[in-house]
Amino acid sequence: MTPEELDARLKAELPALAAPDGLRERVRLALRAEAQRPRRGYWVPAAVAAIAAALLVAVSGTWYLTSQTNERAELAQQVLASHLRSLQPGHLVDVQSNNTHNVKPWFNGKVNFSPPVGNPEPDSFPLIGGRLDYLHGRTVAALVYQRRLHVINVLVWPEGGTESLGERTENGYTELYWKKNGWEVWVVSDLNAGELREFARNL
Amino acid sequence: MQESDLAKFEAIALPHLDAAYTLARYLLRDPHDAEDAVQEAYLRAMKYFGSYRGGDPKAWVMAIVRNQCRTKSLSRQVAKSVEFDEEVHSDDSGSADALALESEAKETIREALDLLPLEFREVIVLREIQGLSYQEIADIVKAPIGTVMSRLSRGRARLEKTVKAGRP
């Protein structure tokens, strides 16, 4: 084989490849999630560890925690931990789609309920996708929306009763929660509370 | 990170995603590992974007992807050797396997490339597929330019030998 023949074979048999469908979008999402992590690098793992430690304390202290307030606080911690976990590379969504008709059926057979999946403002708060999460001793549906660089997690599961909109702030994250029409809903994001409320109103 | 910095980073790095995937795919020989490596490399690249001082963005991205693949491939080897050590095996089976693999004849350059050690594979991919200069490759693999050229020609010779022997 002459060097030219080898060149030709290298060219023909070692083609440049195209990144598979979805990789570009996955990388973009990961970059976005990473870029919006506060004091990136150290803070979030530290926060996750702190929350994990807090949860451990909360769980070991569960015997004493009977009041509604404490349960709420514990759930709020779990919701925030779920949000932070979701921002780690590769954890945000299991089904990636901006179409409610793709996201809603994806939960079929994975949870024993069909979560309400809305996309009320696709321009300002686009739906990104969904995933399963484990919260408060049960599997819940997580719906992921986006506002500019901010990721919004909506955690939802069936729950009876009615409770009007509540709000908590923790380490710069806002959590909104309510119970209505047989669903308990928690919305969590580092987005400012005003815009998050606007998002939750239309959900 | 500011939104404008992210946009700047994306504008510089994302156009080279196909090239990044190509490099990772040839270096790791596995599509899923390649995708993971690309994603991890881009996150690293963003982290170190502040220290990017201009220069060819493709070579910059290639350098980070290459390092990520090396780390991945090394950790894979470690995992493999641990697995292997735990099995009952004869003393020389490891090296005998490797020799048998290397002397195997192949019909296509692609198969032959997969048999080359990583040091050869990376210079061949960076040169023949990505079209980087010797100097850029030398910077990426952190070796003198002479070493790069010698690895390239030895790598090419080994490819040729393997496909010649495997000619149907």
Distance CA A138, CA A157 (A): 9
Question: The tokens 């307030």 sit on which residue?
Answer: A69
Check residue B83 and give its pLDDT: 55
Q: Which residue of B has its CA nearest to A3?
A: B156
Percent with pLDDT over 90 in chain B:
64
DSSP per-residue string spanning B32-60: HHHHHHHHHHHHHHHHTGGG--SS-HHHH
* Least confident span in A38-52, A167-181, B16-30, B50-64: A38-52
Q: Is residue B129 less than 8 Å (CB to CB) from chain A? A: yes
Q: Which residue has the higher pLDDT, B15 or A169?
A: B15
Report yes or no: A151 and A92 within 8 Å, Cβ to Cβ.
yes
Q: How distant, in Å, are the alpha carbons of A102, B17, B69, B115 from that of B110?
A: 38, 21, 18, 9
Q: Is residue B89 less than 8 Å (CB to CB) from chain A? A: no
C-alpha B137 chain-centroid distance:
12
Mean pLDDT of chain B: 85
Give chain B's end-to-end CA distance (angstroms, integer).
Answer: 56
Residue B92 has pLDDT above 50, yes or no: no
Q: Nearest Cα to A115, choosing from A96, A81, A139, A92?
A: A139
Check residue B168 and give its pLDDT: 67
Q: What's the ipTM?
A: 0.81
In the beta sheet, which residues pair with residue A176? Answer: A167, A187
> What one-character DSSP code corresponds to residue B126?
I
Contact B160 A13 (CB under 8 A): no
Distance CA B101, CA B120 (A): 16
Size of interface A-B (CB pairs under 8 A): 93
Question: The tokens 């396997």 sit on which residue?
Answer: B97
Residue B57 has pLDDT above 90, yes or no: yes
> What one-character DSSP code corresponds to residue A107?
T
B interface test, pick of A5, A14, A39 with most B CB neighbours within 10 Å: A14
HSE value, Cβ hemisphere, 13 Å, CA-based, for A68: 1
Q: Is residue B97 less than 8 Å (CB to CB) from chain A? A: no
Q: Is residue B107 less than 8 Å (CB to CB) from chain A? A: no
Q: Phi-psi bin for A139: left (phi > 0), alpha (psi -120 to 50), beta?
A: beta
B123's enclosing H/E stretch is helix B118-124
Contact A23 B35 (CB under 8 A): yes
Distance CA B112, CA B134 (A): 23
Q: Nearest Cα to A171, choosing from A83, A86, A53, A92?
A: A83
Distance CA B148, CA B63 (A): 15
Contact A19 B38 (CB under 8 A): yes
Q: Which residue has the higher pLDDT, B131 or B96?
A: B131
Check residue B124 and give its pLDDT: 97
Q: Is residue A17 less than 8 Å (CB to CB) from chain B? A: yes
pTM equals 0.54
* Least confident span in A75-79, B71-75, B99-103, B124-128: B99-103
Q: Is residue B29 less than 8 Å (CB to CB) from chain A? A: no
Contact A20 B35 (CB under 8 A): yes
CA of A149 vs chain B CAs: smallest distance (Å): 7
pLDDT class of A54 with cuts at 50, 70, 90:
confident
Largest interatomic CA distance in chain B: 59
